Amino acid sequence: MSSSVIGRDLPRRDAGDKLTGRTRFTIDRQAPGMLHAALRRSDVAAATLLRVDVAPALAMPGVRAVATAADAPGRYGVGVADHPLFAADVIRYHGEPIAAVAADTIEQAEAAAAAIVVETEPLEAHVTMADALAPGARELHPGWERYEELEPGGTRAGNVAWEATVVRGDLDSAMTRDDVVIVEGAYAVGRQNQASLEPRVAIATVEDGRVVVETSTQHPWAVRSGVARLLDISESLVRVVVPAVGGGFGQKFEPSVEPFVALLARKSGSPVKIALSREEEMRTALGRENAEIFIRSAVTSSGEILAREAVVLMDCGAYGGEQTFLTTMTAHTLMGNYRLGAVRLVSRAVYTNTPPTGAFRCCNGVYCTFALERHTDEICAAIDMDRWEFRRRNLIGDGDLGATGQRFEGDVLVPMLDRMVQLRGESPPRPDDGRLYGTSVAVGTWFVFVGPSSATVNLNPDGSATLITAGVELGSGSLVQSLPQIVADQLGLDPADVIVRAADTDAAGFDSGVGGGRTTVSLGAAGTAACAEVRRKLFDAAADLLEAAPHDLELADGMVGVVGTPGRRMPISEVVAHAHGTSGPISGSGAFAAPGAEAMPGCAAGHMLEALDLPVFAVHECDVAVDPATGHVEVLAYRVVQDVGRAINPRAVEGQIQGGVVQGLGYALHEEITIGGDGRIRQAGFETYRLPLAGDVVPVDAELYEGAPSCGPLGAKGAGEVPILAVGAAVACAVADAVKRPVSRLPLTPPHVLALILGRDDEVTHDHIPRSWRANVLSDPDALEAAFASRG
């Protein structure tokens, strides 16, 4: 195998077209005779839907089809199928679709959607999780017991869409020892909007009785099943194809707009396009959820963490969606990083009358790491221990147990911390300019969402190879850099001779989607397995021609050669031509599945992932200056040491780190979403939702830490998701260090920081969260503890 293409900073094959405007994203595409769709959305957060009359819309000029709940009987979701395409009897959030219209022009479609008569009777809206969890609160989903469960094991009731718990060890004895300090913290974060510049957009066409959906998605196979489920048609009647995607960041991991156009195309017989406006994207994005955390730890004076308990409330909005899965990730993040004695954790996805939330790069890992690292610094202050020293003593190493009893492999985090100290160099100067200076260190644990993948590799007559997967290029470079580099390495080709087929569910086998840092790992592993079959067939065909045993052959520079005999080799194309006359064209297929890491029995309940197959770690440091007159935070320097396993294309990974850190700086400092009492998101566009701009950012000093254990191909780990993980934590800890006050909320906007400095910040108390995990679980806490005590 040629290792010359692994670890090389090869360029992107799509850069030229993207720089010259020739790339045609879904938003740039159209089909002949294409109609345009608009949605009629709810303008209240909670109501009974009394009447929907579409007759006025059908009478409007240019209108070709109108669809409502009657046309889409199914429900979809992640843990629970609770989400209909259109509101049927009940409206659960401001902006919920009630009807969809297809017309000749977008203006006609919008006018007709507005003409639909909607009669409602208001219901009391639960806009906050405190409202939704209050005793006797109206249930958002009466009849939730009858929803189909798509994943087993979650506890559900009333406005709790999903609950996951962790029980390990004897909490009460640790908490009541007289030689421990008890440290408590309450933390709150708002939502974050993905703000991909290409909005959610899709075009559906009906061909030979099947629906072909061209869409800007991260997960073609989820769109295929979601469309079929909502329209109540066979999945085999849906084909999903994906051009270049203009950013996703997690939002496009779930089906969203595709079912509307699939339905309208079937009703009208014409191609239909839907493209959400920026206001729709701001007001109905499947954003990172707002969350509330209470955490308490018992720590000895030498810094040993004897016990930790926590309650996490995650606002899933009107429907459970990704949050039903993400309750699983609090155990590995908020309860991650450090060796813990006893553990109690309850994580709840809570229904509210707000737009549903979803997945966003590192998801709840971002705020769980914020809460954990702020809590860790509070512990350091309480026991008077240096922040780096405390972490060095407690970070998980080889053979240590994670929160759910998983045994971790390899010493990774402490060496990463050491690497950070080297990267830091000298402390930056602190001019006497009246500003307050602070530093921080933040550690984070995340994972690669491995999941099943498949790949096919065809060896072409010219000796080039075609890789066929359902992978999608979102911008991270995995489809244009790492995957062709891996296939080229396996087949001894120039990466330019590896063609990567755009995703098409009619061509590629099943895949779990581009997200969770999984593409290079899972599709890379499936591609590697496909290449193994190609190599075997190629060597069998070449053995006769080169008069050598197949196991004595190797691939390099586009040639098949005999190991150790430089002169005896021939171009792959000649071997392929020979095979065409004997065994036939050469191709291989490969598959990958999660290796299946194990937790301790009886520890975790309601978790879709009890243990991490492939953990990924990050250490961040941040230096800030805070202006006490304005509350403005300037980030002076930012450093990252990231566990990458093995970097296939180091420069591409560094590009992900710079971009991910800057997205995190937006989350930490100024991307603020607020929800009014009417349940409507107040920020309708980029005027009020303040994204990072070129003038805000710092160059990130990044070091790629290689060599940690990995089940990924060539030892790789996903590198694109993790850079954002610890940014909120690092900034918050540095600001707390600068202003000498606890930071309990993000984002740290200037008014918020000013209030902190002046001692006027609203304290985060979470009065609705009882101060013991026991009082926060739907399940019987004694039964959960008994399940752990009686573990096999």
Q: Which residues bind another protein (CB under 8 A)?
A: 9, 11-12, 14-25, 27-28, 194-199, 244-247, 249, 277-278, 474-477, 651-652, 655, 658-663, 685-687, 691-695, 697, 699-700
- Burial (0-12, 13-18, 19+ Cβ within 10 Å), 744: buried
- Burial (0-12, 13-18, 19+ Cβ within 10 Å), 104: middle
Nearest approach, Cβ of 200 to another protein (angstroms)? 13
Tokens 């061209």 correspond to what residue?
A: 214
Token pair recorded at residue 410: 């390899």
**Among residues 326 and 700, whose Cβ is nearest to another protein?**
700
Nearest approach, Cβ of 245 to another protein (angstroms)? 7
**Position 421, amino acid:** V
- Sequence-distant contacts of 550-555: CB under 8 A, at least 24 apart: 554/1, 554/492, 555/1, 555/2, 555/491, 555/492, 555/493
Nearest approach, Cβ of 18 to another protein (angstroms)? 3
Q: Would strands 604-605 and 587-592 be described as parallel, antiparallel, or unpaired? A: unpaired
The edge-to-edge listing of strands for the beta sheet with 615-626 is 436-447, 615-626, 633-645, 700-706
Nearest approach, Cβ of 241 to another protein (angstroms)? 18
- Burial (0-12, 13-18, 19+ Cβ within 10 Å), 593: middle
Q: Residue 178 half-sphere exposure, CB side, CA atoms within 13 Å?
A: 0
Query: Within the chain, what is the greatest distance between any pair of CA atoms?
Result: 84
| E strand or H helix at 372 | helix 363-383
Tokens 């408590």 correspond to what residue?
A: 184
Q: How far is C-alpha 428 from the geometric centre of its chain's CA atoms?
A: 34
**Among residues 107 and 398, whose Cβ is nearest to another protein?**
107
Distance (Å, rounded) from C-alpha 233 to C-alpha 238?
9
**Among residues 245 and 310, whose Cβ is nearest to another protein?**
245
Residues 6+ apart with CB under 8 A from 55: none
Nearest approach, Cβ of 634 to another protein (angstroms)? 14
Q: Residue 493 half-sphere exposure, CB side, CA atoms within 13 Å?
A: 27
Nearest approach, Cβ of 658 to another protein (angstroms)? 4
Q: Are 691 and 365 in contact (CB under 8 A)?
A: no
**Among residues 650 and 750, whose Cβ is nearest to another protein?**
650
**Among residues 273 and 296, whose Cβ is nearest to another protein?**
273
**Among residues 377 and 721, whose Cβ is nearest to another protein?**
721
Nearest approach, Cβ of 693 to another protein (angstroms)? 6
Nearest approach, Cβ of 107 to another protein (angstroms)? 11
Nearest approach, Cβ of 544 to another protein (angstroms)? 42
**Among residues 6 and 350, whose Cβ is nearest to another protein?**
6
Nearest approach, Cβ of 35 to another protein (angstroms)? 14
Residues 6+ apart with CB under 8 A from 366: 288, 360, 664, 667, 724, 725, 727, 728
Distance (Å, rounded) from C-alpha 253 to C-alpha 321?
11
